[in-house]
Structure 1
Amino acid sequence: MADDKGNIGSPDRDRISLSEDYEVRDWTNSLGVSEAELREAVDAVGNNAGHVRAYLKTGR
C-alpha cells in the first residue's frame, strides 16, 4: 500500500511505511534500531507505531 503524502496527521504518523526509504530512516533513528530490527518488528506486530514500540521495548 502506498503512503499517501496528502494524508497527514495522526493516522498517518501512527503507521510505519517500510516502502518509503525516508520513513525507514526516520523510524530507525527515532526508535534506535537497525533496519532489520524495524522490519522484524513490523512483520511481527504490523505497522502501528505504538505496537512496534511496545514490541521493541519488550525485547521481542
Structure 2
Amino acid sequence: MADDKTKTGKADRGKVAGGQKHEVAYAAKKAGVKPAEVKAAIKQVGNSRPAVEKALKRK
C-alpha cells in the first residue's frame, strides 16, 4: 500500500544528524571547524543544533 501523501511532517532542522556527512559538513563549515569537532560536540551535548553550535562556539 502506498504512503499517505497528505500526512507529511516537516524536516527536523533542530537537530544535527551525526551519521549524515552532509549535515556534519554543513555544521562544520558554518562554525568554521573540522567535521571531527562537530561529531565530538554531538557526542558531548547531543544532537540538538543550538546545543552543538553553542558547544562549538566555546572552543
Shorter-chain-normalised TM-score: which range? 0.7 to 0.9
- In structure 2, the partner of 1:14 is 14
Identity %: 31
- In structure 2, the partner of 1:28 is 28
C-alpha distance in structure 2 between counterparts of 1:27 and 1:54, whole Å: 12
1:21-51 deviation digits (Å, cap 9, x = unpaired) = 2111211111211011101101100000111
* Cα deviation, residue 58, structure 1: 1.8
- Displaced runs of 4 or more, over 2 A: none
Q: Is the 8 A contact 2:14 2:50 kept in 1?
A: yes
Structure 2 stretches of 5 or more lacking a match? 1-8
Helix, strand or coil for the counterpart of 2:30? helix
Higher-Rg member (1/2): 2
* Cα deviation, residue 7, structure 1: 3.8
Provide the aligned C-alpha RMSD in A: 1.4
C-alpha distance in structure 2 between counterparts of 1:52 and 1:24, whole Å: 11
Provide TM-score, normalisation by structure 2.
0.72
